[in-house]
Amino acid sequence: MLQFILRRTLSGALSLAVLITLIFFFARLSGNPTDLYLPQDVSEVVRNQIAEERGFNEPVLTQFGKFLSDLSRGDLGQSLRFARPAIDVVTEAMPTTLTLAALAIPIATVLALIIGSLAAMRPDGVFDRIATGTSLAASALPDFWLAIVGILVFAVSLRWLPTSGMGTPLHWVLPVAILVFRPLGILVQVFRTSMISVLSADYIRAAQAKGVRQTTIVMRHALPNAIIPMLMVVAYQSAGILNGAIVIEVIFGLPGVGRLMLDSIVFRDFNLLQAVVVVTAVAIFAVTALADVLHALIDPRINHG
């Protein structure tokens, strides 16, 4: 198990290193940030002075070396836009994104367990066909389209829900519902398939032959085994929810990490962009690594060596 955890940690660290490197160099292809933050009529002397103080006029490799040196000390630099440590700006925006994820993930998982179980109990039945068709459509629809349709229907036409902000519980209904839709469709498909496979096993047939109630068979015997393949899917869908939060936060005006990432790109706030990527990537890696470990502990077929 220890080797499994070390191998998983090394793989995540390498992926994180590649991602940070790509973000650093690609961000600087957008140009010099001083062109955005200084007036157009400012003298070239002042412009060069500001660029020199910020290190923007140094070679890119030199900037990258300094960035890695600062990163090794836990220093992600100052945000140009907010004139504050970039990590502080990110941690202030993180609760909004975590709230979205903390609401969306359990809702999608519980609904998938219920819908998938009911669909698997009678394959090719009316409910199974409706659930399968709906879940396939849900997994294929893009978040931004669902968000726009949701606003037009529930906010503009029916006027049941607000279009933006986060002042009341009603403000969270549409963003969370939109964020749940796609992972719910994928999880229903995964759990339905897994449950059908488990319900066809010999020990389930033996329980049915003994006259055990179908509800007891599903809840006590089938569900614990069918849920194992779902663990990794839930973990990766959690990462997808964090990515989808970028679109949702922009459309619904939520001050989360996703919106902060987009703003940092628009305003060429390199340090803030790098801080957002580092924090988000570490969070996603932690979630997927934890799921891998739990999967290895639960399923004895996983090779720990």
Residue 103: which CATH number? 1.10.3720.10
Paired strand residues for 85: 78
Please give the C-alpha separations between residue 20 and each of 31, 45, 258, 277, 287, in angstroms, as whole numbers. 18, 32, 17, 7, 18
pLDDT the model gives residue 129: 92
Asked, for residue 15, whether it belongs to a domain, the answer is: no
Residue 168, SS3 per DSSP: coil
- Give yes or no for a contact between 100 and 286, defined as CB atoms under 8 angstroms apart: no
- 128 or 5: whose pLDDT is higher? 128
Asked, for residue 223, whether it belongs to a domain, the answer is: yes
Lowest-pLDDT range of 38-42, 273-277, 294-298: 38-42
What percent of the chain shows pLDDT beyond 90?
6
Asked, for residue 79, whether it belongs to a domain, the answer is: no
Asked, for residue 28, whether it belongs to a domain, the answer is: no
Full domain range(s) for residue 125: 94-261+277-298
Asked, for residue 30, whether it belongs to a domain, the answer is: no
Lowest-pLDDT range of 146-150, 254-258, 301-305: 301-305
- pTM reported for the whole predicted model: 0.76
In the chain, the number of structural domains is 1
Asked, for residue 140, whether it belongs to a domain, the answer is: yes
pLDDT higher than 70, residue 43: no
The C-alpha R_g of the chain, in whole angstroms, comes to 24
Q: State which of 26-40, 81-95, 197-211, 276-290 shows the largest mean pLDDT.
A: 81-95
Q: What is the DSSP string of 112-123?
A: HHHHHHHHHHST
pLDDT the model gives residue 298: 65
Write out pLDDT tens, residues 72-85.
888 888 888 888 89
Asked, for residue 7, whether it belongs to a domain, the answer is: no
Query: What's the pLDDT band for 118 if we cut at 50, 70, 90?
Result: confident
Write out pLDDT tens, residues 155-209.
888 888 888 877 788 888 999 999 898 889 999 998 888 888 888 888 888 887 8
Q: What is the mean pLDDT of residues 104-110?
A: 90
Q: What is the mean pLDDT of residues 226-245?
A: 76
Q: What is the mean pLDDT of residues 204-220?
A: 80
